[in-house]
Structures are given as C-alpha cells and as structure tokens.
C-alpha cells in the first residue's frame, strides 16, 4: 500500500518537538492571538522575506481579507486563473467583485501573462496569480504588467510555501501573499490556519484589525471585521514545522527528480516541466494522460493512491452556474481537468515506493 500522502510520518519524525509545543501552549493559559502567533508571524515573515506576516484562520480568508483591506468590492474586477482550486474564485466573489478568469500557458498549470494582459479592463483592480502544484507563476511578467497598469497583485501561495522565482520566495513577489496551512500543504498545521505576507505597513496594520472584529483596542471597533485568527496551538506547531520546511521541500524535489527519471519516455504520458527561472516545491506531482481512467484503476488495484487536482474547473461548478460560462469557455482548463493525475508525493515518500508507482504507470500505458 502506498498512500497518496503520508500524514503520520510528520508526527513520528517531530513528536518530541510537537509534544513540547503542545504542552507549552496548554500550560500558558492563553490560546488565541498571543506569543506563539506573534513569534510565528515574525519567523514566517523572515522565511518569506517580507516585512510583515499576519496569521489568519485559513487560506481562503487570507485571500478575502486582503481584497477587503484593498477596498476591492462590487464594480471591481479581479483577474484569476481559469485553472485553480475554487478557493481563489470564492475569495473574489465573497467581496462582491467580479472574477475575470484567464487561461493557463500551453505547457503549464499557471496563468498565461499574455492572455492576462489582454483581459485587463478599466474596472480591473487586482490580479490573483496562483502558484499551482507548487510551481511559481510567471511573476516577472505579471508584475511588469501590473506595474504598467497600476494594478495590485496578490499571490495565492497555498500550494507553494518556500518556492522561489530567481531566488525570491513566493509570497514576497506581489504586494501581498495569501498562505494556507491546511494539513496537506507543504507546511500544514494540525487543523486549519493561514497567513498573509506583505511589505506594506498600512495594509498589515489594517489586516491585524480586520482579522479580529475590526478592532485594535479591545471592544473598540473601527470597522466591520472578521473573526479569522490563527490560534496559539497551531502557531506553536507551525513554528516547529517551519524549521524543517526547506529540508522537506528538498526531499520533495528528490522525489520529483526520481519520478522524472523513472517515468521518462512513456508514450501518452506528459510529465510536469517547470520553467528555467522557477524553483518549484512540488506540492503535487501532476502528470497528464488521455488514458487516466485506466491508469487510476491500475494504481488502485496495486494499492497506490492517486488524486485529480481538479476534476471540475471553477467555471463548470454548480456554485458558479450564475456566471453562465458553459463548457468550451476555457478549453485549456477543461482539458487539464480531463487529463491531470497527481501521483503520491511527499517528503517521506521512499525511493522504492516511487519506483513501484512508476512500474505500474509504465506497465499500464505500455499495454494496449
């Protein structure tokens, strides 16, 4: 049996540190917005290379709260990828703004800067690139367009903590970065969590109020805010895990390299290929094949987990039926939805397991 993602090995590896963090928080008697959150925010900002980090409840709220802090709302347009997890779109529509979806580049999962430039209108306020599967979007091109047009850029870093573009970390490339610490992410909490990174002190200040009922001073509410706070326990766990993130991402890189080697030259199988300037962190290892159903069945039978990220693009979800974007509107995203398959990936995946997965893939696609 090879699970899609091995969640238990992290606890096994870090048990003494995590248990100590647990005890420290339990004994402190303080559980929301305290010393652990403050320390994690400082450490995570330093890791990303930003001046500020604001811990929030989850990744979706990190995206939404930034749009709120920028006063993006009804009448405004936000450019999003057509190929993404639905959370990216949900943040935009939650503030009452309009999503303007843009197709990915031909060879990759991420938003195409050329198409993005063509989608800008006088109502465009912000661009929300996603670093999907841990592969950074083309931020040099996106930032050049945004600067020229006076637009703000918020990176969706949920799948790409630690990734870099020419040595600079995701989350420090736009005006703000939204991070998720959902347990399966490259740095995950043991529950929900999220954060915003930014260099802008005024936005950071407003986000700190917005996440806490719009309040800076207890019981004084300067605006209508959220309750979206990272808690002390999750922050304490994240401080432990942050120390290992670069090493784990390194291990993911080794897994991807092994897959690339073992899966090379299989007819009908497209392997992921990151651009030269990108340093991906392999949140997922996503292959493409027209014979996906067959392959999933074969993997299943061999006891190997696989998942589809994502089977239905946001514009075809019932949740967005009112936007009236029928099948055929975004053919590249639709094609990806029909052909992508994520193979087991994680820092604790053994080389023998990778070889086993590759054997099944090769045997299945070589036959028939």
CA distance 39 to 113: 36
Close Cβ partners of 44 (under 8 Å, ≥ 6 residues apart): 53, 179, 195, 197, 238, 242
Toward ligand PLP, which CB reaches closer, 63 or 266?
A: 63
Nearest to ligand PLP of 63, 353 (CB atom): 63
Footprint of ligand PLP on this chain (CB under 6 A)? 58-60, 84-85, 87-88, 130, 156, 158-159, 180, 182, 192, 194
Instruction: Specify the residue, 158 or 238, whose C-beta has the smaller distance to ligand PLP.
Output: 158
Nearest distance from C-beta of residue 62 to ligand PLP, angstroms? 8
The CB-of-356 to ligand PLP minimum distance in angstroms stands at 27
What is the 8-class DSSP label of residue 317? S
Verify cis geometry, omega within 30 degrees of 0, for the bond prior to 336: no
Per the listing, tokens 């991402």 go with 249
If we measure between CA atoms, which residue out of 62, 42, 277 comes closest to residue 168?
A: 277
* CA atoms of 47 and 248, how far apart (whole Å): 14
What is the side-by-side strand order in the sheet with 164-165? Answer: 168-169, 164-165, 278-279
Task: Name the minimum Å distance from CB 224 to ligand PLP.
Answer: 21
Distance CA 305, CA 303 (A): 7
Least distance from ligand PLP to the Cβ atom of residue 281, Å: 13
Q: How far is the CB of 160 from ligand PLP (least distance, A)?
A: 9
Alpha carbon distance 39, 44 (integer Å):
9
- Please give the residue whose beta carbon sits closest to ligand PLP in the complex: 59
- At its nearest, how many Å lie between ligand PLP and the CB of residue 94? 12
Q: At what angle do helices 59-69 and 86-94 cross, to 10 degrees?
A: 40
Q: Shortest approach of ligand PLP to residue 342 CB, angstroms?
A: 12
Q: How would you write 236-260 as a 3-class SS string?
A: HHHHHHHHHHHHHHHHHHHHHHHHH
Among residues 310 and 358, whose Cβ is nearest to ligand PLP? 310
Contact status, residue 43 vs residue 49, Cβ threshold 8 Å: no
Report the residue number, 90 or 271, with the smaller CB distance to ligand PLP: 90
Q: Whose Cβ is closer to ligand PLP: residue 187's or residue 298's?
A: 187
User: Rounded distance, CA 169 to CA 246, Å?
Assistant: 12
Comparing CB distances to ligand PLP, the nearer of 191 and 268 is 191
CB of 192 to ligand PLP, least distance (A): 6
Closest CB to ligand PLP among residues 103, 192 = 192
The two three-digit tokens of residue 79, written as one number: 């450019």
């Amino acid at each position: 049996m090879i699970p899609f993602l091995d969640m238990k090995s992290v606890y096994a590896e870090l048990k003494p540190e995590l248990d100590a963090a647990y005890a420290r928080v339990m004994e402190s008697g303080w559980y929301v917005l305290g010393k652990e959150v403050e320390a994690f925010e400082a450490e995570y900002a330093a890791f990303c290379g930003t001046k500020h980090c604001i811990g929030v409840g989850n990744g979706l709220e990190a995206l939404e709260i930034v749009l709120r802090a920028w006063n993006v709302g009804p009448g405004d347009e936000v450019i999003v990828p057509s190929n993404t997890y639905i959370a990216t779109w949900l943040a935009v529509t939650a503030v009452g703004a309009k999503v303007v979806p843009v197709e990915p580049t031909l060879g990759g999962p991420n938003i195409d800067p050329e198409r993005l430039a063509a989608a800008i209108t006088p109502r465009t306020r912000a661009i929300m690139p996603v670093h999907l599967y841990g592969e950074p979007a083309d931020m040099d091109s996106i930032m050049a367009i945004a600067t020229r047009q006076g637009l703000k850029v918020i990176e969706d870093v949920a799948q790409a903590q630690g990734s870099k573009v020419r040595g600079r970390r995701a989350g420090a490339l736009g005006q703000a970065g939204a991070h998720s610490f959902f347990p399966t992410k490259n740095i995950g909490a043991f529950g929900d969590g999220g954060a915003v990174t930014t260099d802008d002190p005024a936005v950071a200040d407003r986000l700190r109020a917005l996440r806490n009922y719009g309040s800076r001073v207890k019981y004084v509410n300067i605006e209508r805010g959220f309750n979206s706070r990272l808690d002390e326990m999750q922050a304490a766990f994240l401080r432990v895990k942050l120390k290992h993130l670069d090493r784990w991402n390194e291990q993911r890189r080794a897994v991807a390299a092994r897959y690339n080697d073992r899966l090379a030259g299989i007819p009908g199988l497209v392997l992921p290929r990151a651009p030269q300037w990108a340093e991906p962190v392999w949140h997922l290892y996503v292959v493409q094949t027209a014979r996906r159903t067959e392959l999933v069945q074969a993997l299943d039978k061999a006891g190997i987990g696989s998942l589809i990220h994502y089977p239905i693009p946001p514009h075809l979800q019932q949740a967005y039926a009112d936007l009236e974007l029928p099948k055929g509107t975004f053919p590249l995203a639709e094609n990806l939805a029909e052909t992508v398959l994520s193979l087991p990936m994680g820092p604790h995946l053994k080389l023998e397991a990778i070889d086993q997965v590759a054997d099944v893939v090769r045997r299945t696609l070589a036959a028939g």
